[in-house]
Chain A
Amino acid sequence: MHSFVSVLRRELQIALRRKGDALNVLVFFIVVASLFPFGVGPEANQLRAMAAGVAWIAALLAAVLSLPRLFAADHADGTLEQMLVAPQPLALVVLAKITGHWLLTGLPLALAAPLIGLQYGLPADALGLLIVSLLIGTPVLSFLGAAGAALTLGVRGGGALLALLILPLFVPVLVFGAGAVTAGLTGINPSAHLSLLGAILAVSSLIGPWAACAALRVALD
């Protein structure tokens, strides 16, 4: 446990001194989501109908933008090597890094969602659903993304490969995340969507760290 706390603390400490990284992802999310109305025109009903999908796609792209850095810096400066030879279980270290990634990228996206809701004229209850779906769904992006980031570690052009590898895996999150909001808008009970999103989170929280650990050991062999 104590290695989890010390790695997480260090992640946040570093992020605090490099505010640009986390801020870039957040601004990217807002800018991408803001581009759509320019493309499709200002028709209010149309915008309201596509708001959730746009917000979720922007969140996926923002996650893909942030993921290559998850292990790359630690790999380059030798920290990752030290984490593998340390007596601490690697899974705890990876879990701490994933938690840090979500706190610095996923959580801010969920908190910035009202800004997008406002632009698209989402009613309050649908906006609430968007925030809840982002809060449940963005950790999945961090869990699965960590496995993708570890698999593409040290590969030239790894960023593009990571996007190709990981975006298809994000599809279920997109379907149920955006689906929950759309269901709410059309008066259907969204709890089925949210439950399925929760189930995806549970499964990815087991698979993601395990796959990331295995991939890291191979990358550093």
Chain B
Amino acid sequence: MLETSALACERGGLRLFSDVNLTLAPGGLLRVRGANGSGKTTLLRTLAGLTRPAAGEVRWRGNPIGDDYRREMLFLGHAAAVKDELTVLENLEFSSRFSCLEISESKIKSALESLGIARLADLPARYLSQGQRKRAALARLALSAGVPLWLLDEPFAALDDEGIAQLRKICAAHLAGGGMLVLTSHQDVEIACAAAWSVELRG
């Protein structure tokens, strides 16, 4: 279970939000909404442990976030973390090995399949379009079903209708399996789930 208590964040001396209290239970979906610059990304990075909050704290299973938390959390930010020099397959092999997921090549291929980029597996990532690159980054989700908490920053950006549908399916399956999902999004993409909350950030 993910909780925040009286969370406040600042960027460059500017208070973005304060007193954010969230609770997310297994199977729950949390949408973070707000205008440009309202602190959606900052909130997500704070939940991921990248940015230190100005006040308050983030707790995972009742404890302040630490090493155990990082093993049970997957964060995908704006940048795709896809290396131009490596092929799509090599990129995924590295990122899953690095996240301590033991994964076979056939599993990676089927993950690429689920995002419709299986035929790009052996292509160096520098030839990918923006949307394809996003799909390559999101393919990690299909391999991370066992990771309970997903934090996704603008996952639907740069995706076409087909890509959005595929991602919705992956997210819905994750939530149905008792996973937790926090996402920021400008689009109102519906994701089937047992319990959905949304938080609106205002300056």
Contact = CB atoms under 8 A, between A and B. Distances in A.
Interface residues on A, range: 20 to 34
A221 B81 contact: no
Interface in B80-96: 80-86, 90, 94-95
Interface string A1-30: 011001100100110011000000000000
**Interface secondary structure of B, over-half rule:** loop
Interface stretch (A81-89, A146-154, A174-182, A200-208): A81-89
Contacts of B139: none
A87 B100 contact: yes
A187 interface: no
Which interface residue of A14, A18, A77, A83 has the most chain B CB atoms within 10 A?
A77
Interface in A74-95: 76-79, 81-88
Contacts of B97: 2, 6
Interface in A104-150: none
B124 to A, nearest CB: 8
A188 interface: no
A31 interface: no
Nearest to A83: B98
Contacts of B75: 81-82, 85
A77 B79 contact: yes
B50 A220 contact: yes
Contacts, number: 64
Contacts of B48: 85
B85 A82 contact: no
Interface stretch (B66-74, B157-165, B177-185): B66-74
A3 B98 contact: yes
A88 B100 CA distance: 8
Contacts of B95: 82
Contacts of A84: 50
B198 interface: no
B50 A78 contact: no
